Structure 1
Amino acid sequence: MQVEKGDLIQKARAGEFDVIVHGCNCFCTMGAGIAKTIKQVFPAAYQADLATVAGDKTKLGSYSAATVEAGGKPLIIVNAYTQYQWRGAGFLVDYEAIKQVFRQVKQTCAGKRIGYPAIRAGLAKGDWAKITAIIDEELAGEDHVFVEWEK
């Protein structure tokens, strides 16, 4: 895993990635965190989320996606369903869902430059060290970058 500091959305808009992956809940809200910014900056990603069934627990471990133009080239935005809901105390992250999503991303996006934030380590209260290990294992051999938020 490579680590860069900065703004994932800004880097994506500049064409630095072919794919960005961010975590979503299964209720088609994209109402907080980086998902809210993606919803505003790349509305096609939100439309892809809305095309799924809100509240469907079977979405865990899958994703919806939209392709937009950014930096003069295609950018695939992956809405990764890695937590069921956003309400409640305690851990909301689903580690198995993270594993399944990144396995699928590798299968469908092999050879592309993939960027992502600290998926499920913020609002979903996940353990970033555990999440990092999962991502590293599932994206082994790929060009993937954790963009650590920094203005």
Structure 2
Amino acid sequence: MIEEGHGNLLTAEVEALVNTVNTVGVMGKGIALQFKRAFPANFRAYRAACARGEVRMGQVWTFDTGVLGSRRFILNFPTKRHWRGSSQLEDIAAGLDSLVEVVNQRAITSIAIPALGCGNGGLRWSEVRPLIEQAAERLPGVRVVIFPPEGAPPPAAMPNATPPPVLTPLRAVLLIAVARYLDRARLQEVREGISELEIQKLAYFLQVLGTPLRLAFNRGAYGPYAPSLGHVLVSLEGHYLSGIGDRSASVTQFAPINPLPDGLEAAEAVLRGEDEIVRRIGELLKLVDGFETPYSLELLATVHFASIQAPPTGSPAELAERVASWSLRKARMFTDKHVRVAAARLQEHELLPA
């Protein structure tokens, strides 16, 4: 029996859930990240199986949660070899053959299946859905709930069974900086939350001001960008922050992120007595005063990053050229006047090369 499902697949009342995975042990984005949070034991077992070479294309790797009833089995379905790669229809077809075999062997009576390979894998739903339906027709008596690609559920609705990460002083300072920045931004306009782009720039300037966050910032499309910061935010999601979700949203969607009240309380407790760190938060807020938007923070951070590239320069004219040559997008967005305003703010705080 085939049904169409909507909403959150991870809470579907079925005996088995299908999770789309790669063969290298990474669940970093999309529905796989949702599964990683909701079923951490499955992730640990899957990662170990990948290390042993047991997770292969065309073969479903099954995890038994040991809980009788709904959501007992996680059927980890490889949709691509490497998380950076693309999915292939022939791999989906082979995997569905394996899925039918597993369902019959385990006597599974109900199963929820997502849009295999249609998210980060890049396949078209119009081509994948018939393959899933053909496989479902080979499972008479099994309730098969097919979830079309409708986007991720709200972050707050994503189950999270992971333990809270250790709240170090450096993570605490980031949380407090985000909260105080949001408080100031909301004095100027209605804000649902802070974007990940803004968090990246706040972390960048915290480090510039002397906070040893140990982040490596590269020249990104939207200014200085530290890939490892994304992993930190993912670990904080659901414990100290809400809004990161499964990272399937584009950075330019500015999905709202908010510190959780209990998380802020914990961060304040960690920072008691850390006067130097707290002082740097105050310096940060003065630096970005009046720049409390994604666009403005990108401008300020881009100008600073451009100024410290070899050879360092504090010349507004030279900085305008460097910003314009960064990308066509920046050349169109940031005028010479914008760059001069940002440079003046950086100079005021002695953050430009002499």
Larger radius of gyration: 2
Residue 100 (structure 2) pairs with residue 106 (structure 1): yes
Bigger mean CA offset, 77-86 vs 65-74: 65-74
Within-5 A mapping of 1:83-122: 83-87=80-84, 92-110=86-104, 112-122=109-119
CA 1:116/1:58 → structure 2, altered by over 3 Å: closer, same or farther? closer
Residue 40 (structure 2) pairs with residue 39 (structure 1): no
Bigger mean CA offset, 102-111 vs 26-35: 102-111
Q: Conserved in 1, the CA contact under 8 Å of 2:79 and 2:121? A: no
Q: Conserved in 2, the CA contact under 8 Å of 1:103 and 1:139? A: no
Aligned residues: 144
Residue 58 (structure 2) pairs with residue 77 (structure 1): no
- Per-residue CA deviation, residues 8-49 of structure 1 (Å, 9 max, x unaligned), is 1122xxxx1111112111110011101111111111221231
Structure 1: which 4+ aligned runs deviate by more than 2 Å? 51-58, 69-74, 147-151
Q: Tell me the distance in 2 between the aligned counterparts of 1:93 and 1:127.
A: 10
Q: Tell me the distance in 2 between the aligned counterparts of 1:107 and 1:58.
A: 16
- Per-residue CA deviation, residues 115-136 of structure 1 (Å, 9 max, x unaligned), is 0221211111111111111111
Q: Which runs of 5+ in 2 are unaligned?
A: 154-354
Corresponding residue number in structure 2 for 1:53: 50
Corresponding residue number in structure 1 for 2:7: 6
After TM superposition, the score normalised by the length of structure 2 is 0.37
After TM superposition, the score normalised by the length of structure 1 is 0.82
1:29 is aligned, of 11, 26, 31, to: 26
Report the residue type matching 2:103 in the other structure.
C
Q: Conserved in 2, the CA contact under 8 Å of 1:26 and 1:55? A: no
Percent identity, please: 24
Q: Tell me the distance in 2 between the aligned counterparts of 1:85 and 1:50.
A: 13
- Per-residue CA deviation, residues 39-93 of structure 1 (Å, 9 max, x unaligned), is 11111221231122359698111122211256855611011111111225xxx01
Q: Tell me the distance in 2 between the aligned counterparts of 1:47 and 1:19.
A: 18
Corresponding residue number in structure 1 for 2:128: 131
Q: Which runs of 5+ in 1 are unaligned?
A: none
Bigger mean CA offset, 36-45 vs 103-112: 103-112
Corresponding residue number in structure 2 for 1:147: 147
Cα RMSD of the aligned pairs, angstroms, is: 2.5
More strand by share: 1
Q: Tell me the distance in 2 between the aligned counterparts of 1:138 and 1:74.
A: 20
Residue aligned with 2:72, SS: strand
More helix by share: 2
Which structure has the higher relative contact order (CA within 8 Å, separation 6+)? 1
- Per-residue CA deviation, residues 102-123 of structure 1 (Å, 9 max, x unaligned), is 2122122135211022121111
